[in-house]
Amino acid sequence: MKGTNITHNSQDIIFKKMSELFKDETLKYYELNLPKIISVKPTELPVINVSDRNMDFVFELEDNSLLHLEFQTTWKKADLLRFAQYDIALYQKERRKINTVVIYSGKYESAENELDMGLNKYKVLQVFMIKYDGIKRYKEIKRKIEKEEELTDKDLMDLVFLPLMRNEKSEEEVTKEALELAITIPDENKKEAVIGSLLGFSDNYVREEYLNKLKEVIRMTKIGASLFEEGVEKGKREGERKGKLEERKELIIEILNQRFGEDFDKRLEEKIKNANEEIINQIKKNILNITLEELKEILK
């Protein structure tokens, strides 16, 4: 996730929780006539130049085809081209049929679903969350939890998708409310499945600065605490690595000053301070026999 110190590797935990919840109910929930989901797949693709982000989610279906799921809180015609490029790259990698479904938040009642390129046409299925009453479902689920009634699979799915339903508040505010409500679910497995799914999806429609406000809510749960702490530990390790790199740079500057004297000017010193780890390692390896011209060439 973006701003919560939850690392990219932690998505494995989130995807596992999503798989537990989504296998049987997702497609029924959206009234999509597709084979059952059997697993969540990684979304990194080798050839994507259209954006610095990945596809939202890819699921493997029972018939060996794939479900490409995108969540949209805005609409632009260019999005269809982006989804088409994703699908071409995904097909190139997997060589399987792809079913692309775009889920629109409660702000939208309709959107174009086809890209006409002449003989070739690209089409997606669509789900408009405006038909789901988020305020009503929040109250119903909260009442059931307070009365310690067992939550159905549909209740759990509604809680996950609450931020995208028709609401008076923003997706971000509703995400926070949904997380706070999910924390109170008595069943630990259901709680973790809902929270993991909320975290997985919220990264696609919640601004980074608002995710920081959710940090304390996330940390109150076992799954959230483990994800957050992993991020902290990784941050510490990254900080230590950067600290050691700075120490190496200082040592290299000191040695080169001794070797080249005034010829090693402030401009070269500044370039070393700004150099990446690969360049620093290259200089360090040859520091006792490197010539001034070779140094300048490396630092170009």
Which pTM was predicted?
Answer: 0.62
Q: For the chain, what is the mean pLDDT?
A: 78
pLDDT tier for residue 9 given thresholds of 50, 70 and 90: very low
Residue range 215-250, pLDDT digits in tens? 666 665 666 655 555 444 444 445 455 567 887 888
**Contact 127/161 with Cβ under 8 angstroms?**
no
**Contact 179/218 with Cβ under 8 angstroms?**
yes
- Which tokens sit at 45? 């693709």
Query: What phi and psi, each to the nearest 5 degrees, are found at residue 93?
Result: -80, -40
Total Cβ atoms within 10 A of residue 265: 9
Of 3-7, 12-16, 62-66, 75-79, the poorest mean pLDDT is in: 3-7
Alpha-carbon Rg for the chain in angstroms: 25
Mean pLDDT of 99-107: 90
Find the largest Cα–Cα distance for the chain. 79
No. of helices (H) and no. of strands (E), the chain: 12, 7
- Which tokens sit at 2? 């973006």
Which pLDDT score, from 0 to 100, does residue 121 have?
93
Percentage helix, strand, coil, to 5, in the chain?
60, 15, 30
* DSSP, res 64: S
Mean pLDDT of 73-80: 84
- Which tokens sit at 227? 């994800």
Q: Is 64 left (phi over 0), alpha (psi -120 to 50) or beta?
A: left
Q: How many angstroms separate the CA atoms of 195 and 159, rounded?
A: 9
Exposure class string for 114-134: b at 16+ Cβ within 10 A, else e? ebeeeeeebebbbbbbbebeb
Exposure class string for 229-256: b at 16+ Cβ within 10 A, else e? ebbeebeeeeeeeeeeeeeebeebbeeb
Q: How many angstroms separate the CA atoms of 138 and 173, rounded?
A: 13
Q: How many angstroms separate the CA atoms of 149 and 157, rounded?
A: 16
The H or E element containing residue 60 is strand 57-61
Residue range 13-41, pLDDT digits in tens? 555 666 666 666 677 778 888 888 887 77
**Contact 101/30 with Cβ under 8 angstroms?**
yes
Residue range 123-163, pLDDT digits in tens? 999 999 999 999 999 999 999 999 989 998 889 889 988 98
Which pLDDT score, from 0 to 100, does residue 54 have?
60
